[in-house]
């Protein structure tokens, strides 16, 4: 059984990279719903339905464990799928997200107890980070900042351009104006690690930039260790398969920006 990784687009590839680095012997299937992306501005109901369709398809493809490598899907659909759908579909299958692992670690990464979150409008509007951080770290103040153009800049291959630096600097400035005490900024969209060069220029010294991939990967390793029954069900062949709801050629072109390699991709309908 492969481990499934789902995203509305390409950002989940940054999560996949870290998962493969930490678990190189595992088999993975990546599914991008690129034809219906972006999810960020869509309603909760639409994101939930689209995500549920993708999760069911990955289950049908032999993935008993699915990672939502997408902050919007994790914010708007994960809990409903876990609580309402899995008991009906198959209570032995699991769906995990990218928000919880980041939330669990953030308490160790901030001294001021003031944290910023840069993300899509949908993730910021959902207040998922505020709610989840409040459960584990009620003393931490969270400030969310929507960055609507950042993902598009990455997908256009302009992450290292002057334009990218301008828009990154603008949003970071807005965030820190609202809370100057922030000493850690969570990249709450899986596209944003590709903007790291611009972020390092825009974020003042002393403020930590928290990229999700390494923490999601570490969390999955820990999860498999704590759940040997699921660990045994996940196959070890080191294989990787990619599927997209868009045209494969378009996916290959954009995936090269994230993975820096050529891949084979198949089209799939949801």
Catalogue the active-site residues: 70, 189
The CA-based angle 116-196-216, given to 5 degrees, is 65
* Distance, CA of 192 to CA of 101 (rounded, Å): 17
- Strand blocks (E) in the chain: 3-7, 28-32, 65-68, 94-96, 114-119, 141-146, 184-187, 208-210, 240-244, 265-267
* 41: DSSP letter: T
- Give the strand pairing for 240-244 and 265-267: parallel
* Distance, CA of 92 to CA of 181 (rounded, Å): 44
- Both tokens of 173, joined, read 């400035």
The answer to whether 56 and 86 are in contact (CB under 8 A) is no
- Looking at the DSSP assignment, which residues form a beta bridge with residue 209? 185
What φ, ψ does residue 247 adopt, rounded to 5°?
-70, 130
């Amino acid at each position: 059984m492969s481990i499934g990784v789902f995203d509305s687009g390409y950002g989940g590839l940054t999560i996949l990279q870290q998962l493969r680095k930490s678990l190189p012997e595992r088999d993975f299937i990546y599914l991008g719903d690129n034809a219906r992306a972006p999810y960020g501005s869509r309603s909760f109901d639409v994101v939930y339905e689209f995500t549920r369709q993708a999760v069911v398809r990955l289950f049908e493809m032999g993935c008993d464990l699915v990672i939502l490598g997408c902050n919007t899907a994790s914010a708007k659909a994960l809990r409903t799928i876990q609580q309402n759908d899995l008991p009906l579909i198959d209570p032995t299958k699991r769906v995990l997200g990218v928000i919880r692992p980041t939330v669990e670690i953030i308490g160790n990464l901030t001294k001021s107890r003031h944290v910023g979150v840069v993300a899509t409008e949908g993730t910021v509007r959902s207040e998922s980070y505020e709610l989840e951080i409040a459960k584990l770290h009620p003393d931490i103040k969270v400030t969310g900042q929507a960055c609507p153009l950042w993902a598009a800049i990455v997908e256009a291959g302009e992450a290292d351009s002057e334009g990218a630096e301008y828009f990154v600097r603008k949003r970071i400035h807005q965030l820190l104006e609202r809370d100057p005490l922030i000493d850690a900024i969570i990249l709450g969209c899986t596209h944003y690690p590709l903007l790291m060069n611009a972020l390092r220029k825009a974020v003042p010294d002393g403020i930590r930039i928290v990229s999700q991939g390494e923490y999601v990967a570490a969390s999955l390793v820990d999860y498999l260790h704590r759940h040997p029954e699921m660990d045994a069900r996940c196959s070890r062949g080191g294989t990787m398969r990619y599927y997209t709801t868009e045209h494969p050629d378009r996916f290959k072109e954009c995936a090269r920006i994230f993975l820096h390699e050529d891949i084979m991709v198949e089209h799939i309908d949801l």
